[in-house]
Amino acid sequence: MTEFTCSQEIVSQARRNLNQEVWDYLTGGAESEMTMRRNRHALDSYAFLPRVLRDVSTIDPSGALLGHKLRIPVILAPIGSLQAIEKGGGASSCRAAARFGTIPMLSSITEPSLEESVASAEGPKMFQLYVRGDWDWIKAILKRVKDAGYDALAVTVDSSHYGIRERQLMNRYLPPSVKAQKDRHLQAAITWDLASRIRDEWGGRFMLKGVAHVEDAAMAVSRGVDAIYVSNHGGRQLDHCMGALDSLVEIAGAVKKKAELIVDGGFLRGTDVIKAIALGASAVAIGRLQGWALAAGGEAALLRSLELLEREIVNALGLLGVTSFAELSPAYVRKAEVIGPTHELSTFYHLPQRLV
């Protein structure tokens, strides 16, 4: 897959490979897609303040998350129904992550099974849980996750109801995970007490995925989470939310490094990753970019996508005047006017948002 010279080419190939229904499932958001656009707008609204005349002949782009070293501070976000995008599903993501040197987070509503996915490649893996059963069901799946050897657990908390995704409605399309789901109503009954009970039953590294409010982040810290996953579900759940990077800034100020922070939502470039780390994140999770890469060419294209992100990160760190992420701080970025479109695909100008 070395013929892909930039992310633009990967996404363009994914568009050619995917039918309209799956493309819209992967690329679209909820209702008017304002949250999705704000995710991109938030990233574009920070400008760099580079320093010069520093020795940047050697760059270390590595990061760390929950005690694990990452080749770059980028992990693979959980994607439901990943097998509809690429037949290898979660196993393909695991293999690409292992080959590159990062961590995949596997969705509980994707294929293959959690055991098959974790066995497909070496290296640490994280598991993302949607609650789809009673307490006995929860205990049973947590035992499976433990026995399979997952390193950390993330409970999704921003999906009490399934977002109204109009692209899917217009296509009369339901992804496999939605068609097969049972007891989804139990996701709406999750409380802080249940989340704490799950944390205690799990007994390992624990995070909440889908936190967007400062007060919820503070509550999470008080309940002993190891990491807070700042996310609005890529704009696929509640519309008209703040951009994820803006939420990260507020939450980082309140958490004050009492928990590690992961963020997703519109991250497409190495410069996007740098902005997030400068503003307080430990790592960035890529969702749509991961899906597009898998659609473009499976495991090999996803590996290539991560290599391209690394190249962009090394280039931008050097041009900023720093040699590692440890040297970054909010002093390297500043709010600025956004010029041009702010759709999720605004950095890929040649792609149609929808084929009509």
Q: Which sequence positions are flagged as catalytic?
A: 233
Report, in angstroms and rounded to the nearest whole number, the Rg of the chain calculated over CA atoms. 19
**What distances in angstroms separate CA 137 from CA 134, 141, 186, 266, 334, one per listed residue?**
5, 6, 11, 33, 47
Nearby residues of 210 by Cβ (< 8 Å), 6 or more positions away: 156, 157, 158, 159, 229, 231, 232, 233, 237
Looking at residue 278, its amino acid is A
CB atoms within 10 A of CB 32: 12
In contact, 88 and 111? CB cutoff 8 Å: no
Contacts made by residues 179-184, CB under 8 angstroms, sequence distance 24+: 181/109, 181/132, 182/132, 183/132, 183/133, 183/137, 184/132
In contact, 314 and 72? CB cutoff 8 Å: no
Angle between helices 244-255 and 214-222 (to 10 degrees): 40
In contact, 89 and 64? CB cutoff 8 Å: no
Put residue 204 in one of left, alpha, beta given phi > 0 → left and psi -120 to 50 → alpha: beta
- Nearest CA among 82, 142, 145, 76 for reference residue 111: 82
Q: Collapsing DSSP states into helix, strand and coil, what is residue 154?
A: strand
CA dist 121 and 94 (Å) reads 6
